[in-house]
């Protein structure tokens, strides 16, 4: 029977090609606009580490004071070197790492190409197991390397390809900024998006970092942060030089903790509050303890990682799809009511209301499928246009995946079927006798 | 024109009428807010930076390894000489950051060192006596730095300028009386500095962080001795292409122990494009959505009105036979559309304000000015009238004979 309805639907399209084409185009454009913006939105607001995100936490400590604008919702988004080192040494979490972004010049040993700039992170050994970093060769360095301030380095597969043609380079030496490091591991394709562990420095999206070195070593070599450095908490002038900076109230170190369950998170929260209260007792903070502990997803939300552009466009495109739907309901209604006579004849010849209803839902479905296919085509075009609309680092995250193709077509079909329900209901209630009389 | 018969006719098409009213309302709400967003973005991306953008080139330089401050000072001095010798180069200076760039230093400024919280944030730009000429900044009061005032500062040293030049925006914020030159202010935690000059305009870098104080900049008379330096180059008209080519080659030839990557030499045109990329993108997206939305709504009105016309051919024929002119029929459908549009824009005005409130609440957008609503209402009503015109014209051409045809 459904096949018969499809035939009727196709027949009806032939009779009013203009109106049908209009509906297909409107649905296609509406679906494409919302899917393109949804693809970008999903790429920037997804969970970068789904199986682990509930166990990863970021601590905040108020070292600035309420007179400099600190509130519960507005605490410094990084830590001072002093506080980060105190938390590292207390070792209250299962795993923990202080981390900051660095930039260095890599000097190729073979002399075949010029030195180039590379982006990296200074971190502790726990960084890798905490964030489930996969390794192509070798492994992370260990706690002993952290304590020895060892000159070891983990590099990305990209850097490994550029320097060693992708061969196993573990054990070889790499010159960064004139310092030799021993390569202990090569990371295998790892670039979670957003780059959750460094969203407070504005590096939320982009290419994978090139290398990682022990935090303790980076401090020894006086490698400054390539991220934000906020000294709003300093009431008095800094002492000059590197050590003055380390001892200052400037915040620039990020801290990540792994806490296995809610009880552990609660314990850490108490420890953190106690630590800040201690600082107050020792005269460093002149205000009551003000600390906060975020889990990963709450942290991304708090830092506003998804650019407002992507959310606003999703909202507007959604509104646009709604208008397309309202429009399609109107056009379907017009189309169906124009055929009231035909419906009357079918009813008089014995078709039940249910059958008429199904016939017109089938017709809406066909329009939905056609609109979906057109929408898919336009979405594919829209994906190419995303880099005109969004930052290139964000635009390239949006891909036309199998899942997205499925969602696009289903969205069009479901939306059009919903749009077709009311007109079909009206069609089913056409009075056969009245229609026949008026012919 | 009789409104009553139109209203009673519309009552027979409740569903169709309600759909068009809803569609007009949603269209108005989206178009008004989208136009407002476009306007805000266009205002943002077309504001002047204060820099003579057509003739300025930016070069990022990174030294390899760690040098002592004295070495860095010599290297920087020699680089400035190398660049000055290039044909087509007007003037050059070295700095930490530049207007429309993607980051920089900022400090709070206070009147006295005892003052607890800062009066305003300010962007900090390292400068020398060549800065005003290189960027083309206009001095509106006071004087430029003198060569003997320019000091050297290590990357981790404390910034303690004795003299500073500020932008008019900062001067007006601090000294609304307009007598900023000669006054003292404290930059960050430094002891007081004397304002020796005021420049008309110099924007800070780009980002939501500095949006609230976008033109409050301070020039400090230091060369920043850090491993990463930005050279600003004023190029003579017409020489941009050749200087872009020659600059990094000349610098690398003078000393190869450095990195100047492919993205490290940029004209101000490129910097502006990158800085306002997402603003331009949003404006384009909103523009496209507005256009398609208006076209969709027009198509919907044409479709439904055509249907009504075809359904009412008999009635139209009867009215024509009873003496109604073509103009009467035409104005009947136009008035009908005007009534529907009026309902649509009334509902739409409410939706517009609600959507704006949502955007203000969630995305810190500004309050929509009433002018947008007025323009939107006029545009939507005109759109409805022009969309209805073709089916109404066809209706007016229904011949009175139609009245007798099917009865």
Q: pLDDT tens digits for B23-69? A: 999 999 999 999 998 998 899 889 999 999 999 999 999 998 778 88
- pLDDT (average), residues A339-349: 82
Say what percent of chain A tops pLDDT 90: 41
Cα separation values, B154 from A189, A243, B78, B149, B177, Å: 38, 13, 18, 16, 36
The residue of chain B nearest to residue A19, with distances taken between CA atoms, is: B303
CB contact under 8 A, B26 and A319: yes
Q: pLDDT tens digits for B282-307? A: 888 889 888 988 988 888 888 888 87
Q: Chain B interface, mutation test: which of A15, A389, A436, most B Cβ atoms within 10 Å?
A: A389
The residue of chain A nearest to residue B23, with distances taken between CA atoms, is: A323
pLDDT for position B225: 92
pTM for this entry? 0.83
**Could you tell me the end-to-end alpha-carbon distance of chain A, in angstroms, rounded to an integer?**
28
SS3 readout for A383-406? HHHHHHHCCHHHHCCCCCCHHHHH
Q: How far apart are CA A190 and CA A209, in angstroms?
A: 9
H/E segment holding residue A157: helix A157-164
CB contact under 8 A, A330 and B155: no
Whether the per-residue pLDDT at A280 is higher than 80: the answer is yes
Q: Are the CB atoms for A182 and A173 separated by under 8 Å?
A: yes
Q: pLDDT tens digits for B308-321? A: 787 778 888 888 88
Nearest to A255 by CA among A193, A208, A198: A198
Chain A residues within 8 A of B364 when measuring between CB atoms = 308
Q: pLDDT tens digits for A162-211? A: 999 999 999 999 999 889 999 999 999 898 888 999 988 877 788 899 99
The residue of chain A nearest to residue B283, with distances taken between CA atoms, is: A389
Q: Indicate the pLDDT class of residue A436, thresholds 50, 70 and 90.
A: low
Task: Choose the closest CB to B189 out of A234, A324, A422.
Answer: A234
Q: pLDDT tens digits for B18-36? A: 888 999 999 999 999 999 9
- Whether A117 has its CB under 8 Å from any CB of chain B: the answer is yes
CB contact under 8 A, B256 and A67: no
Q: Which residues 121-160 in chain B show a CB within 8 A of chain A? A: 154-158, 160
- Whether B261 has its CB under 8 Å from any CB of chain A: the answer is yes
- Whether B284 has its CB under 8 Å from any CB of chain A: the answer is yes
Chain B residues within 8 A of A388 when measuring between CB atoms = 281, 284
Nearest to B308 by CA among B3, B20, B2, B4: B20
- pLDDT (average), residues A254-265: 95
CB contact under 8 A, B277 and A391: yes
Q: pLDDT tens digits for A306-320? A: 877 788 888 888 888
Q: Are the CB atoms for A147 and A216 separated by under 8 Å?
A: yes
Task: Choose the closest CB to B156 out of A240, A307, A390.
Answer: A240
Q: How far apart are CA A89 and CA A100, in angstroms?
A: 17
Q: Where are the alpha helices (DSSP H) in A178-307?
A: 215-220, 241-246, 262-281, 296-302
pLDDT for position B332: 86
Compute how many other C-beta atoms are within 10 angstroms of the C-beta atom of residue B157. Answer: 17
Task: Choose the closest CB to B190 out of A237, A244, A326.
Answer: A237
Whether the per-residue pLDDT at B17 is higher than 70: the answer is yes
pLDDT for position A279: 94
Q: Indicate the pLDDT class of residue A235, thresholds 50, 70 and 90.
A: low
Whether the per-residue pLDDT at B406 is higher than 60: the answer is no
- Whether B30 has its CB under 8 Å from any CB of chain A: the answer is yes
Nearest to A356 by CA among A438, A435, A415, A439: A435
Q: Are the CB atoms for B29 and B352 separated by under 8 Å?
A: yes
Q: How far apart are CA A400 and CA A408, in angstroms?
A: 10
Chain B residues within 8 A of A29 when measuring between CB atoms = 292, 296
pLDDT for position B142: 94
Q: Indicate the pLDDT class of residue A328, thresholds 50, 70 and 90.
A: confident
CB contact under 8 A, B155 and A327: no
pLDDT for position B222: 96
Q: How many residue contacts between A and B have a Cβ separation below 8 Å?
A: 156
Q: Indicate the pLDDT class of residue A240, thresholds 50, 70 and 90.
A: confident
Quick one: tokens of A222?
A: 């006086």
Nearest to A217 by CA among A120, A293, A327: A120
DSSP tag of A253: B
Chain B residues within 8 A of A28 when measuring between CB atoms = none
Q: pLDDT tens digits for B105-138? A: 888 899 998 887 889 999 999 999 999 999 999 9
Whether the per-residue pLDDT at B407 is higher than 50: the answer is no
- Whether A266 has its CB under 8 Å from any CB of chain B: the answer is no
Nearest to A116 by CA among A68, A205, A177: A177
Q: pLDDT tens digits for B214-273? A: 899 999 999 999 889 999 999 999 999 999 999 999 999 999 889 998 889 999 999 999
Q: How far apart are CA A307 and CA A167, in angstroms?
A: 38
Q: How far apart are CA A307 and CA A393, in angstroms?
A: 12
Whether the per-residue pLDDT at A5 is higher than 80: the answer is no
Q: pLDDT tens digits for A118-166? A: 999 999 999 999 999 999 999 999 999 999 999 999 999 999 999 999 9
Q: Which residues pair with B153 in a beta bridge?
A: B224
- Whether A333 has its CB under 8 Å from any CB of chain B: the answer is yes
Q: pLDDT tens digits for B321-367? A: 888 888 888 888 888 889 889 999 999 999 999 989 988 887 777 78
Q: Indicate the pLDDT class of residue A439, thresholds 50, 70 and 90.
A: very low
pLDDT for position B354: 92
Task: Choose the closest CB to A178 out of B22, B66, B363.
Answer: B66
- Whether B179 has its CB under 8 Å from any CB of chain A: the answer is no
- pLDDT (average), residues A344-351: 84
Q: Which residues pair with A104 in a beta bridge?
A: A118
Whether the per-residue pLDDT at A75 is higher than 60: the answer is yes
Nearest to A59 by CA among A87, A28, A21, A101: A87
Nearest to A119 by CA among A137, A131, A101: A101
Chain B residues within 8 A of A371 when measuring between CB atoms = none
pLDDT for position B194: 96
DSSP tag of A196: G
**How many residues comprise chain B?**
407
């Amino acid at each position: 029977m459904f096949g018969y309805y499809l035939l009727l639907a196709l027949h009806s399209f032939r009779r009013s090609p203009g109106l049908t084409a209009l509906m297909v185009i409107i649905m296609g454009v509406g679906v494409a606009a919302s899917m393109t913006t949804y693809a970008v939105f999903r790429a920037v607001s997804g969970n970068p580490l789904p199986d682990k995100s509930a166990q990863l936490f970021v601590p905040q400590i108020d070292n600035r004071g309420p007179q400099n604008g600190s509130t519960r919702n507005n605490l410094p988004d990084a830590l001072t070197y002093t506080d980060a080192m105190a938390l590292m040494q207390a070792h209250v979490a299962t795993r923990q790492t202080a981390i900051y972004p660095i930039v260095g010049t890599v000097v190729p040993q073979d002399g075949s190409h010029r030195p180039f700039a590379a982006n990296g992170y200074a971190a502790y050994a726990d960084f890798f197991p905490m964030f489930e970093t996969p390794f192509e060769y070798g492994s992370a360095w260990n706690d002993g390397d952290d304590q020895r301030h060892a000159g070891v380095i983990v590099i990305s597969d990209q850097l490994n390809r550029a320097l060693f043609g992708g061969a196993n380079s573990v054990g070889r030496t790499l010159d960064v900024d004139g310092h030799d490091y021993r390569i202990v591991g090569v990371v295998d394709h790892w670039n979670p998006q957003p780059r959750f562990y460094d969203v407070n420095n504005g590096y939320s999206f982009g290419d994978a970092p090139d290398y990682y070195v022990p935090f303790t070593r980076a401090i020894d070599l006086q490698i400054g942060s390539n991220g934000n450095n906020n000294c709003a908490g300093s009431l008095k002038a800094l002492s000059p030089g590197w050590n003055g900076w380390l001892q200052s109230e400037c915040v620039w170190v990020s801290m990540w903790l792994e806490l296995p369950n809610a009880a552990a998170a609660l314990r850490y929260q108490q420890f953190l509050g106690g630590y800040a209260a201690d600082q107050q007792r020792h005269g460093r903070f002149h205000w009551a303890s003000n600390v906060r502990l975020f889990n990963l997803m709450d942290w991304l939300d708090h830092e506003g990682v998804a650019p407002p552009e992507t959310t606003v466009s999703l909202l507007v495109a959604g509104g646009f799809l709604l208008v397309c739907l309202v429009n399609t309901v109107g056009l379907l209604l017009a189309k169906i009511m124009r055929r009231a006579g035909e419906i009357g004849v079918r009813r008089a010849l014995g078709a039940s209301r249910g059958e008429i209803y199904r016939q017109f839902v089938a017709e809406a479905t066909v329009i939905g499928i056609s609109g979906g296919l057109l929408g898919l085509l336009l979405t594919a075009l829209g994906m190419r246009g995303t880099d005109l609309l969004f930052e290139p680092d964000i635009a390239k995250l949006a891909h036309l995946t199998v899942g997205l193709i499925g969602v696009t077509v289903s969205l069009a079909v479901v939306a059009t079927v919903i749009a077709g329900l009311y007109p079909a209901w009206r069609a089913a209630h056409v009075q056969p006798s009245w229609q026949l009389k008026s012919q | 024109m009789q409104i009553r018969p139109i209203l009673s006719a519309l009552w027979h098409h409740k569903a169709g009428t309600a759909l068009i009213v809803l569609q007009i309302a949603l269209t108005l709400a989206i178009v008004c807010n989208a136009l407002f967003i476009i306007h805000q973005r266009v205002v943002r991306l077309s504001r002047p930076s204060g820099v003579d953008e057509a003739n300025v080139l930016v070069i990022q330089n990174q030294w390899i390894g760690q040098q002592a401050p004295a070495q860095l000072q010599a290297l920087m001095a020699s680089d400035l000489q190398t660049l000055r010798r290039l044909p087509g180069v007007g003037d050059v200076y070295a700095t930490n950051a530049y207007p429309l760039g993607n980051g920089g230093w900022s400090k709070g400024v206070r009147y006295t060192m005892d003052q607890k919280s800062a009066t305003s944030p300010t962007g900090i730009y390292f400068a020398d006596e060549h800065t005003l000429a290189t960027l083309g900044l206009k001095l509106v009061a006071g004087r430029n730095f003198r060569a003997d005032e320019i000091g050297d500062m290590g990357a981790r040293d404390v910034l303690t300028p004795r003299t500073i030049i500020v932008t008019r925006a900062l001067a007006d914020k601090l000294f609304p009386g307009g007598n900023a030159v000669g006054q003292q202010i404290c930059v960050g935690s430094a002891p007081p500095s004397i304002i020796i000059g005021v420049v008309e305009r110099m924007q800070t870098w780009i980002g939501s962080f500095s949006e609230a104080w976008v033109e409050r900049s301070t020039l400090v008379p230091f060369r920043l001795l850090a491993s990463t330096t930005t050279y600003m180059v004023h190029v003579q008209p017409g020489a941009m292409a050749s200087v872009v080519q020659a600059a990094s080659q000349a610098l690398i030839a003078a000393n190869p122990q450095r990195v100047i990557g492919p993205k490290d030499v940029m004209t101000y045109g490129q910097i502006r494009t990158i800085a306002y990329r997402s603003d331009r993108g949003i404006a384009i997206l909103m523009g496209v959505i507005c256009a398609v939305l208006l076209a969709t709504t027009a198509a919907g009105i044409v479709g439904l009105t055509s249907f009504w016309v075809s359904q009412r051919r008999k009635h139209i024929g009867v009215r024509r036979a009873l003496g109604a002119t073509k103009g009467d029929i035409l104005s009947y459908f136009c008035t009908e559309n005007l009534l529907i549009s009026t309902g649509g824009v009334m509902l739409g005005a409410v939706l517009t304000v609600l959507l704006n409130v949502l955007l203000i609440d969630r995305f810190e957008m500004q309050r929509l000015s009433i002018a947008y609503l007025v323009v939107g209402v006029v545009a939507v009503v005109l759109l409805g009238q022009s969309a209805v015109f073709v089916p109404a014209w066809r209706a007016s051409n229904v011949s009175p004979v139609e009245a007798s045809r099917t009865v």
